[in-house]
């Protein structure tokens, strides 16, 4: 949803408002699922260690699941847990019929092997969309579970722009969490996609040609406002803490003030992509529940 823009400035893409509306639709479908099956969709979140930011994030996921009528199963393990113990928990969750979605909070501490854990999750319960099977489905244009943040970005873009066909898009960042699945989603929406990264030559020129800019590099204000093509739509996935005038501030990967003078629409940080990540996790959990039960998954985006 786009808030009213001030004169000569980009419209603000309000991720919180869109997430709230999406949540209402998900809650209705959760009720329909429970009426048909006699149970609520179940989400299991696994947290290893005591990272404060991860603890807050896990709690917020549990609260949202319960708010929407889902079951929430939270498993908190010490940072000293062994790889074998963590894999055993994943195996138990795979076998638990009350669990439709499994999310292991990343990054994992110490020497724990994140890839091995991701690969151990049943792809039908991989609501983070990171299992190679789901990544392969996405690349092949087949239905699977899609990584939450890119899915939220696509929803915001389609809400803002409608049909994306034929638009030039650039994704800055190539992680498996955001960059790579984002590029695949944009290709699926018939955009012409450029993938950029830390070794891209003349990044400013490439950004300047794009109708859609998705920034996901994790580098504070790396993308300058003057790079943005006039009339472009900017989705800023990054979140960095910087000190300004003695205060800690949250900023994105894009110079918001500068980009706002050129873009048609832009996501703020915070309040843009962030709220969508949790809500698309709920979306994926509901879709997984329907598919695992053999029911036709509803269209709720």
Fold: same for 37-122 and 147-275: yes
pLDDT in tens, 214-227: 999 999 999 999 99
Annotated catalytic residue, options 14, 29, 61, 211: 61
pLDDT at 237: 96
pLDDT at 297: 85
Q: Is 53's pLDDT higher than 90?
A: no
147-275 adopts what CATH topology?
Rossmann fold (3.40.50)
Annotated catalytic residue, options 100, 126, 128, 236: 128
The domains of the chain are located at 37-122, 147-275
Rounded to whole angstroms, how far apart are CA atoms 221 and 103? 30
pLDDT at 86: 98
Active site residue 168: no
Active site residue 202: no
Q: DSSP readout, the chain?
A: -BPPPPTTSPEEB-HHHHHHHHHHHHHHHHHHHHHHHSS--EEEEEEES--HHHHHHHHHHHHHHHHTT-EEEEEEE-TT--HHHHHHHHHHHHH-TT--EEEE-SSPPTT--HHHHHHHS-GGGBTT--SHHHHHHHHHT------HHHHHHHHHHHHHHS--TT-EEEEE---TTTHHHHHHHHHHTT-EEEEE-TT-TTHHHHHHT-SEEEE-S--TT-B-GGGSPTT-EEEE---EEEEETTEEEEE-SB-HHHHHTT-SEE--TTTSSHHHHHHHHHHHHHHHHHHHHTPPPP---
pLDDT at 245: 83
65-74, 126-135, 172-181, 244-253: least confidently modelled range: 244-253
pLDDT at 301: 62
DSSP collapsed to 3 states, 249-283: EEECCECHHHHHCCCCEECCCCCCCHHHHHHHHHH
37-122 adopts what CATH topology?
Rossmann fold (3.40.50)
If one compares 3 and 190, the residue with the highest pLDDT of the two is: 190
pLDDT at 4: 46
Annotated catalytic residue, options 105, 126, 180, 236: 105
Active site residue 105: yes
User: Taking residues 132-141, what's their average pLDDT?
Assistant: 95
Query: pTM score > 0.85 for this model?
Result: yes
């Amino acid at each position: 949803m786009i808030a009213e823009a001030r004169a000569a400035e980009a419209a603000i893409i309000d991720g919180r408002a869109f997430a709230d509306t999406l949540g209402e639709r998900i809650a209705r479908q959760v009720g329909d699922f429970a009426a048909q099956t006699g149970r609520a969709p179940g989400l299991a979140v696994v947290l290893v260690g005591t990272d404060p930011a991860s603890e807050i994030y896990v709690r917020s996921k549990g609260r949202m699941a319960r708010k929407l009528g889902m079951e929430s199963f939270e498993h908190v393990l010490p940072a000293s847990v062994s790889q074998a113990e963590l894999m055993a928990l994943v195996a138990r969750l795979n076998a638990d019929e009350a669990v439709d979605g499994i999310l292991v909070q990343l990054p994992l501490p110490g020497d724990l092997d994140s890839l091995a854990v991701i690969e151990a999750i049943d792809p039908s319960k991989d609501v983070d969309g990171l299992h190679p099977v789901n990544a392969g489905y996405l690349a092949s244009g087949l239905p699977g579970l899609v990584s939450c943040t890119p899915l939220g970005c696509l929803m915001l873009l389609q809400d803002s722009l409608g049909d994306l066909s034929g638009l030039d898009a650039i994704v800055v960042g190539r992680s498996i969490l955001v960059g790579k699945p984002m590029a695949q989603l944009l290709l699926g929406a018939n955009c012409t996609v450029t993938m950029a990264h830390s070794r891209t030559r003349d990044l400013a020129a490439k950004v300047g040609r794009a109708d859609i800019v998705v920034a996901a590099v994790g580098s504070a204000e790396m993308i300058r406002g003057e790079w943005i093509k006039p009339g472009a739509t900017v989705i800023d996935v990054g979140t960095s803490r910087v000190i300004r005038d003695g205060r800690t501030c949250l900023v994105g990967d894009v110079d918001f003030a500068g980009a706002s003078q050129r873009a048609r629409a832009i996501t703020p940080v915070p309040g843009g992509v962030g709220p969508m990540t949790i809500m698309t996790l709920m979306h994926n959990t509901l879709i997984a529940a329907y598919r695992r039960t053999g029911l036709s998954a509803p269209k709720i985006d």
